[in-house]
Structure 1
Amino acid sequence: MEDLSSFWGPVTSTHEWCEMNYVHSSYIAEFFNTISNVPCILLALIGLVNSLKYRFEKRFSVLHLSNMILGIGSMIYHATLQRLQQQGDETPMVWEMLLYIYILYSPDWHYRSTMPTFLFLYGAAFAVAHSQVRFNLGFKVHYALLCLLCIPRMYKYYIHTEDKSAKRLAKLYVATLVTATICWLADLLFCKDISLWHFNPQGHALWHVLMGFNSYFANTFLMFCRAQQRGWNPKVKHFLGMFPYVNIQKPKAQ
């Protein structure tokens, strides 16, 4: 794919996706890959409002904020295709997965200070290394491994949850993850063939949209499970009849 000069200058990122550059604006390199992050930001905002309204633990507010930051970082990266902005997208991806690992494993971790300390140092070390080394395939493998660490724990929460609405959230999490991965791989592996088509299905943009919903379903499911652990009588409700959220009733002592 040809590098085109623009407002941002020549492309310096280590990877370009299967979308023609600067077709719709000289300020936006990959138009669809940029605007497709909007659903992720809006869904994270809904989750953040719900987390604050029902006074969930701060970890969930931070999680929703990290989803918003990730969406904004991805928008800036795809709009510019610059190396620095690519780091601003990829490093928060790793930080977010470390936060998921903390939320998933911390309830059964007996040494309370060791896990957050280790994860913080790991995230800081990765950020420094990523600023100095041009990871490409290595980043993808590393990120996939972090995701795989979360899946067994999500499955454990699923099998210990009896609420049908909560189980539906977990199923939607899996469905969006699988579908998004297929779109991502198709965009990556078959770009040469797709470039010859009259219509580009924008697989990477679909990945963004689906992963925005995937994160939202995952976060809502985890909030339900945590509320259940704390004895807050959680119930899955729907905002505007579409977007699930967790309604809780804390005991008066809490």
Structure 2
Amino acid sequence: MDGGGFSSFWGPVTSTDWCERNYVHSSYVAEFFNTVSNFPCIFLALFGLVSAVRQRFEKRFSVLHLSNMALAIGSVVYHATLQRVQQQGDETPMVWEMLLYIYILHSPDWHYRSTMPTFLFIYGAGFAVLHSLVRFGIGFKVHYAILCLLCIPRMYKYYIYTEETSAKRVAKLYVATLFLATACWLFDKLFCKKVSEWYFNPQGHALWHVLMGFNSYFANTFLMFCRAKQLGWNPKVAHLMGVLPYVKVQKPKRQ
């Protein structure tokens, strides 16, 4: 959105422009709030990564946390520059991340272990190439929404088979943050003109970033709990400083 007080270091906007005045705080940062709102996701992903590595979870969970971190960093670069290439560098990891979730959700029950990761890898690589050549609009959003919806039935299956109340609470936080984030995204998108006339802009897209950072973290935590349960690691949900949930396992001693 035009109307900032600084000149653009990155040149004219060539990407999707969101409902935040550009270059208000710096000539190097196009959308300040949309940029800095990604940092909570980076910190949450880093904490999840350290927890997964220390407790020796399968590498797929480390890659999952790293993908969350990479996605947030890509979003930082995109909103700071508002350039088309950087937008593609944000959107392509979004698709890769969902493909990784699909793999983790289905891998325990997949009989042909090399088939699914090979298919998902080819799909992700093909999308990356296509996305570098074609500029998607609503098509990307529909595609991303479909990938998200594909994860929900399996997440629900894990939920109904989970007996621990604390783990179920993490799953409920995942659902709650998803709905709140979507509402913030839609509000920012649909009512931008009205919001722009207000004295205070609630920054719906920035709130989307923060809430989706927590959403990804809650999803990862719940999946780590379910996987640890499958492996007989006696998982429990602990809380950092009494607030942030994380999985703590107690692996059986080897005979």
Counterpart for residue 167 of structure 1: 168
Counterpart for residue 112 of structure 2: 111
Counterpart for residue 184 of structure 1: 185
**Do structure 1's residue 124 and structure 2's residue 164 form an aligned pair?**
no
- Structure 1: state its 5+ residue gaps: none
Q: CA separation in 2, counterparts of 1:107 and 1:218?
A: 17
Letter in 2 for 1:102: Y
Q: CA separation in 2, counterparts of 1:63 and 1:240?
A: 24
| Alpha carbons 2:233, 2:249 under 8 Å: kept | yes
User: How do residues 1-254 of structure 1 correspond to structure 2 at under 5 angstroms?
Assistant: 1-2=1-2, 6-13=8-15, 15-253=16-254
How far does the alpha carbon of each residue in 1:2-38 deviate from its partner, in whole angstroms, 9 at most, with x for none? 387510000111x111000000110000000000000
How far does the alpha carbon of each residue in 1:48-101 deviate from its partner, in whole angstroms, 9 at most, with x for none? 000001000000000000000001000000000001100110000000000000
The TM-score with structure 1 as length reference comes to 0.98
| Alpha carbons 1:41, 1:68 under 8 Å: kept | yes
| Alpha carbons 2:3, 2:21 under 8 Å: kept | no
| Secondary structure of 1:112 counterpart | coil
| Alpha carbons 1:169, 1:217 under 8 Å: kept | yes
| Secondary structure of 2:193 counterpart | helix
Report the CA distance between 1:206 and its aligned residue: 0.2
Q: CA separation in 2, counterparts of 1:240 and 1:246?
A: 14
Q: CA separation in 2, counterparts of 1:242 and 1:75?
A: 26
Q: CA separation in 1, counterparts of 2:49 and 2:213?
A: 14
Letter in 1 for 2:226: C
The percent identity for this pair of structures is 79
Q: CA separation in 2, counterparts of 1:176 and 1:118?
A: 30
| Secondary structure of 2:14 counterpart | coil
Q: CA separation in 2, counterparts of 1:2 and 1:176?
A: 30
Q: CA separation in 2, counterparts of 1:211 and 1:96?
A: 13
| Alpha carbons 1:3, 1:11 under 8 Å: kept | no
Measured on the aligned residues, the alpha-carbon RMSD in Å equals 1.1
| Alpha carbons 1:3, 1:10 under 8 Å: kept | no
| Secondary structure of 1:22 counterpart | coil
Report the CA distance between 1:252 and its aligned residue: 2.6
Q: CA separation in 1, counterparts of 2:154 and 2:188?
A: 29
Letter in 2 for 1:67: N
| Secondary structure of 2:246 counterpart | strand
Report the CA distance between 1:253 and its aligned residue: 3.3
The TM-score with structure 2 as length reference comes to 0.97
| Secondary structure of 1:246 counterpart | strand
